[in-house]
A and B are shown apart, each in its own frame.
Chain A
Amino acid sequence: MSGVSLPDPAPPAGQAADRPGREESGVMLKLWRNGKGRIGLVLLAFFLVYGAAGFFAYENPPPAGFTVEDRFRSPSVDELLGTDNLGRSVWQQLAVGAGISLAVGLAATAIAVLIGSAAGITSGYIGGRFDQLAMGVTDMFITIPALPLIIVLAAVLSRGLPTIIVVIGVTSWAVPARLIRAEVLSQRERTFILRAKAIGMRPLHIMWSHVLPNVAGIVLANAILLTAAAVLTEAVLAFLGLGDPSLISWGKMLQNAFSSGATSLGYWWVLIPPGLMITLLVLAFTLVGNALTDVIDPRRRAE
C-alpha cells in the first residue's frame, strides 16, 4: 500500500475551491432554507416515522374480517378509513404499506447507485476503450424501455420483495452512471488528480479517495430522485399483480381496490388513501432531490 504512506496530494474534498458551499453542515442548512427542500424534508421525516411505526404496530397483512358485514365498511370512528374486500383495516394497510414502499425505494436505489457509481467512476476515470464499452452498455440500458423490461423480469423471476428490489435496482443504474461519468470527466483533469497520478497512486485508490468524495453530492442528489422513481415503480408492479402477493403495499392496495370491484362500486376509501400516499411520498423524495441538486450545483440553480 504505497499510497498510504505518501502525503495526500489532494485537498480535502470539502475544500475544493471551485465548489462553493460544499461543507456538509452547510448542505443541510441550505436544504432547509430552500422552500421546496423544507417541505420535502418534513414529508420525508413524517414517512420515515410513519413507516417505522407501521412496521412495529401492525402485522402485514392486517387480519381479515369475520362476517360479511366486515367487508367494505365505510370510514367510521371505529375504523378511520374503513375496510377492504377482506374486511382488513385500510388504516393499518396504509401504515404497513409505508414500510414496504420505503424499503423497496431505498434498497432498490442503493443497488442502482452502487452499480451506477461503479460504472460511472471507472468509466470516466479510466476512459479510452473501457469507457466506450462501458458507456455502450449503459446506453443500451438507457434505451431499453424500462417498464416493459421490469415487468418481464418481475414476471419471470420468483415472486417476492427481494425480486422487486433487485429488478428495479438493476434497471435504473444507467442514468446515474452517465451523470456521474460526466462529472468524473471534469474531475479527472483537475490538478490534484494529476498530482496523485504523478506520485504513483493506484487508480483504484485515486477513484475511491479522491474522485468519489468529489462526486458524492451528485450521487446523493440523484439517488434521492431515483428513490422517488423506485417507489413509483414498486407501486406500478404491485398494481399489475407482479409484487409480493402475500404482502400489502400501496400498489397492492390499489390492485385490490381494482380487482375487487371497489372502483366501480364507489368505495373511495379503499382507492384514494393509497393513491394519495404514493403521490406524497414520491413528492417528498422529488422535492428533496431537486432542492439538493440546487444546493450543491449552483449552475443548475441559475438556470
Chain B
Amino acid sequence: MSGKEGILADPISRRQFMAYTGKAGMAAMLATPIVTAACGGETASGVLRFGHLNIFDTPNPVVTVSSPDMHWLVYDRLMEFDANMSPALSLATNRVLSNGGRTVTYTIREGVEFHDGEALTSADVKFSFELYRDTKKGLFGGFFEPLETVEAPDDATVVLHFSGPPALDPSVGAPILPRHIWQDMSSEEIDQFGNDEMIGSGPFKLNNYAPSERLELDRNSDWWGWSSNDGPKQGTIEALIKVQLANEETVANSLRNNEIDVTGELASDIWDGLVGESDIEAVEYPGFLLDHFGINVYEDPNNPGQPHPDSGGNPLLLDQRIREAMSWAIDRQRLVDIVLGGRGQKGTVVLPPGMGASFLEIPEAQQANGNPDRARQILDEAGYAVGDDGIRVSPDGQRLSFRLFASSVIDRLPQYAELIKPMLEDIGMEIQGVFAEDDPTLIQRVFVDADWDMYTWVWQTPPDPTFMLSVQSCDQFGNLSDTYYCDAEYEDLFKAQQVQGDPAERERMVHQAQQIFYDAFAYCVMAYPNRLQAHRTDNLTGWIFINNGVTVNWSTEQYLVLSEA
C-alpha cells in the first residue's frame, strides 16, 4: 500500500497531512511559531532552512517513496544526476561498459567511510544492489528490474550484469547501505526498519528527525566530495533543516519573515505574492508534473470488451469512442488558465515536457482537445443518442453516467474536477460527484477495489521515462495503475526500452509508447503545471538553476553548492 500514493508522486505525499494533522492543526500551528523558535538565529552559521508541507516519509531508503534528495544527501551513490540532469560519476571514479552494454564495471573511491567510521567497500554496494533487486520496493528498487547479478571481485570493483543494456543505470538512484547494519535483517524486518540513525556515507548526517515536524541534517565534513581539488561541491553550509508547515500560505509567510530560506512547490497565486519581495527570488521551472484523470478501463482478459468481474467501473468506459469524446470535450487551455493561473501547459501525452527529448510532442491540430462539437459528433456516430433527460444513452439503454473522484488533499484536483464536470455534461454525459475524498479512501477505491469511473490525480516523474511508462504496464494492476490499462504492443515497447542501449532507438520506442497510450484515451492529461518555488537571497549564496526546481529535484547539486552569504 505504501507505494501507491506516493511513488515519485512527491506533491501528493508532501501534502498528505494537510487534510488531517496539517489543516486540522493549523490553528495550533499559527499559535506556536515553531519555525521561529527552532530556527531563529541559526542562519549565521550557514544553515539551509526549508519549509515544506511534507518533509520526509521515512529514513529507510529501501521503502521510501518520496524525498529522494534527502536520502541522497545522507547516502552516497555510484552515479548521480548532475546539474544538467545527466547521469555522472559520483562515488564511482570509473565506469566501463562491456558485453554489448550488458555488463557495467565500476571502480569505487577508496578510503570512504560510513558515518559510524566503518569502511565502505564493494561488498556494501553488492549487498545494497542485491537488496534493491530482491525487494523491488520503494523509489529506488523499481529501477533494478533488469539487474541479474552483482559481483565484487575486490574491495574497489563492482561488476553489474544486466539482462540487456540498461536504459537507465539504477546506480544513479540507489543509496549505498552499510552492510554491517542491514545484513542480518529478514526482508520483513527491512520493510519495518525505522533506520533511526540513518548511517550512510554521504555529505550530510542525520541529526534529528521528528516525523511530520522536522528533519535536521548536519554536514559530514569528512565527506570525500567536499574536497575542492577532487569534487565539484564547494558549498559551505553546516546544516540543513526541513520544517513541516501546515499549508502553502504559511510557507510563503515563513519565507517573508526569514524563518526559512527556501520553499517547496507553491500554487501560482501564492507564488505571485512573493514575486518582487525584497531578498526573495521567485523562480519558475519546467515541471515534471502530470495532472490528469485516469479512466477505469479494467477489461476481462478472457472476455475482451467485457468489464473485469472485479471492476466497479461503468462498463461503457470500455468503449474507446466515449473516452475519446471526453478528451475532445475538455478545454485544456481553460484549465491551465483558471486552475494554474496560466502557469503551465496544456496536457497531451503521459510524459511531461520537462522530460525534454523523451516527450512526444503531439501537433496542435492532432490534439483531441477543446472541441465539444467533435465530441458530440463522435457520440452521435457511435449511437449514443440524447435521452429524454438530456443524458445520452447507449443503444441498449445504458445511460452515460459516470462518477468523478478527486483527492481532496491537493487543492487543484477538486478544482480541475469542478471545471471538467460541466464540460462533460455539455456533451450529454451525467457526471456524478465531484466526489472529493481523502487519500486513504481514494487509494483503496482506485488502486485496490477498482471501483471508480474517472479519477483526477498527479504524478511526478524522475528525469527518466521508465517510471511514468511503467504506471500503464499490465504488471501494475492493483499497484500503480490508475486505469487498469493493458495493451500488448505498449507492454512490449515499455519492456524493450528499458534495455535499449542506443539512445536514439530508445527515444523512438518511448515516443511510440506514448502515442499508443495517447490514442487509447485511458488518460485525459489535463495540464503540465510549471514548478513554482522561491528562496531568500540574503542568507545563502550559490543558488543555481536546475531543471525541475530548487528543491526536491533529481539532482543534489543545489544543496552542495550553497554557502553562507
Contacts and interface: CB of A to CB of B under 8 A. Distances in A.
Interface stretch (B18-26, B190-198, B351-359): B18-26
B434 A246 contact: yes
Contact of A245 (B269, B339, B414): B414
Contacts of B334: 66-67
A159 interface: yes
Contact of A264 (B24, B273, B434): B273
Interface string A60-95: 010111111011100000000000011100000000
Contacts of A246: 414, 417-418, 433-436
25 contacts: A67-B337, A68-B342, A71-B337, A71-B338, A72-B269, A86-B419, A155-B438, A158-B441, A159-B408, A159-B437, A240-B26, A241-B24, A242-B24, A245-B434, A260-B270, A260-B411, A261-B252, A261-B267, A261-B272, A261-B273, A262-B269, A264-B273, A265-B269, A265-B272, A265-B273
B248 interface: yes
Interface residues of A, number: 32
Interface of B: 18-20, 23-24, 26-27, 247-249, 252-253, 267, 269-270, 272-273, 334, 337-339, 341-342, 406, 408, 411, 414-415, 417-419, 422, 433-438, 441
Contacts of B435: 246
A261 B269 contact: yes
Interface string A250-275: 00000000111111110000000000
A86 B338 contact: yes
B422 A259 contact: no
Contacts of B26: 240
A160 B338 CA distance: 25
Interface string A129-158: 000000000000000000000011001001
A262 B249 CA distance: 9
A86 to B, nearest CB: 6
Given A246-B414, A264-B253, A65 B338 contact: yes
B339 A151 contact: no
A152 B19 CA distance: 11
Contacts of A159: 408, 436-438
The SS class assigned to the A binding surface is loop
A86 B273 contact: no
Contacts of A87: 338
Given A71-B337, A71-B338, A259-B411, 12 more contacts: A66-B337, A70-B338, A71-B341, A72-B269, A159-B438, A241-B408, A242-B23, A244-B436, A246-B417, A259-B267, A261-B252, A261-B273
Nearest to A245: B436
Interface pairs A-B: 9 shortest CB-CB: A245-B436, A261-B270, A261-B269, A241-B23, A68-B342, A246-B434, A68-B337, A264-B273, A245-B408
The SS class assigned to the B binding surface is helix
Nearest to A70: B338
Interface of A: 61, 63-68, 70-72, 85-87, 151-152, 155, 158-159, 240-242, 244-246, 258-265
Contacts of A265: 269, 272-273
B370 to A, nearest CB: 11
A41 B37 CA distance: 48
B19 A64 contact: no
Contact of A259 (B247, B417, B418): B247
| Residue among B20, B23, B248, B434 facing the most chain A CB atoms (10 A cut-off) | B23
Contacts of B341: 68, 71, 85
A262 B252 CA distance: 12
B101 to A, nearest CB: 48
A72 B417 CA distance: 20
| Residue among A68, A152, A262 facing the most chain B CB atoms (10 A cut-off) | A68
A44 B270 CA distance: 37
B293 to A, nearest CB: 15
A63 B422 contact: yes
B339 A240 contact: no
A171 to B, nearest CB: 15
Given A261-B267, A264-B249, A151 B24 contact: yes
